[in-house]
Amino acid sequence: MEEKYRDWIAILDFGSQYTHLIARRTRELGIYSEIVPYNTEANELLVRGPKAVILSGGPASVSEKNSPVCDKDIFRMDIPVLGICYGAQLMAKILGGRVNKSRTREYGSAVLSVGNRSGLFKNLNEEEPIWMSHGDRVTKLPPGFEIIGATQNSPVAAMADGENRLYGVQFHPEVAHTPRGKVILDNFLITIANCKPTWNMRQFVDHSIREIREKVGSEKVLCALSGGVDSSVLAVLLHKAIGKSLIAIFVDNGLLRKNEAQIVEQRFRERYHINLKTIDAKGMFLKGLKGVKDPEKKRKIIGRLFIEVFEKEARKLGASRRTPKGPVRDRIKFLAQGTLYPDVIESRSPVGGPSATIKTHHNVGGLPSHLKFEIIEPLKDLFKDEVRLLGKELGLQDEIVYRQPFPGPGLAVRIIGPVTEERLNILRQADWILMDEIKHSNYYRKLWQSFCVLLPIKTVGVMGDKRTYENVVAIRAVTTEDAMTAQWAKLPYKLLEKVSNSIINEVKGINRVVYDISSKPPSTIEWE
Buried b (16+ CB within 10 A) or exposed e, 150-173: bbebbebbbbbbbebbbbbbbbbb
**Do 345 and 35 contact (CB within 8 A), yes or no?**
yes
- Which one of 34, 106, 128, 174 is the catalytic residue? 174
Q: Round to whole Å and give the CA distance between 196 and 189.
A: 9
Residues written for the chain:
528
Which long-range CB contacts under 8 A does 238-242 form with residues at least 24 apart?
238/212, 238/336, 238/378, 239/272, 239/273, 239/274, 240/205, 240/209, 240/394, 241/208, 241/209, 241/212, 241/213, 241/216, 242/212, 242/213, 242/216
Whole-angstrom CA distances from 304 to 223, 288, 289, 411 are 18, 10, 11, 17
- Which one of 70, 85, 195, 223 is the catalytic residue? 85
207 catalytically annotated: no
- Comparing CA positions, the residue from 467, 452, 366, 463 lying closest to residue 413 is 452
Q: Is the peptide bond before 327 cis (omega within 30 degrees of 0)?
A: no
Q: What are the backbone dihedrals phi and psi of residue 26, each rounded to the nearest 5 degrees, phi first?
A: -65, -40
Q: Round to whole Å and give the CA distance between 473 and 432.
A: 13
Whole-angstrom CA distances from 98 to 31, 47, 91, 501 are 33, 32, 10, 64
134 catalytically annotated: no
- Which one of 134, 172, 239, 362 is the catalytic residue? 172
Rg (CA), the chain: 26
- Count the Cβ atoms, other than its own, within 10 Å of residue 318: 17
Spell out where 196-275 has E strands.
221-224, 246-252
Q: Is the peptide bond before 342 cis (omega within 30 degrees of 0)?
A: no
Q: Which distant-in-sequence residues (6+ apart) come within 8 Å of 461 by Cβ?
A: 467, 468, 469, 470, 511, 512
- Count the Cβ atoms, other than its own, within 10 Å of residue 356: 4
Q: Round to whole Å and give the CA distance between 496 and 518.
A: 16
Q: Is 266 helix (H, G, I), strand (E, B) or coil?
A: helix
- Comparing CA positions, the residue from 162, 237, 243 lying closest to residue 201 is 237
Buried b (16+ CB within 10 A) or exposed e, 501-527: ebbbeebebbbbbeebeeebeeeebbb
Which one-letter amino acid corresponds to residue 357? T
172 catalytically annotated: yes
DSSP of 487-500: EE----HHHHHHHH
Q: What are the backbone dihedrals phi and psi of residue 31, each rounded to the nearest 5 degrees, phi first?
A: -110, 120
- Catalytic annotation, residues: 85, 172, 174
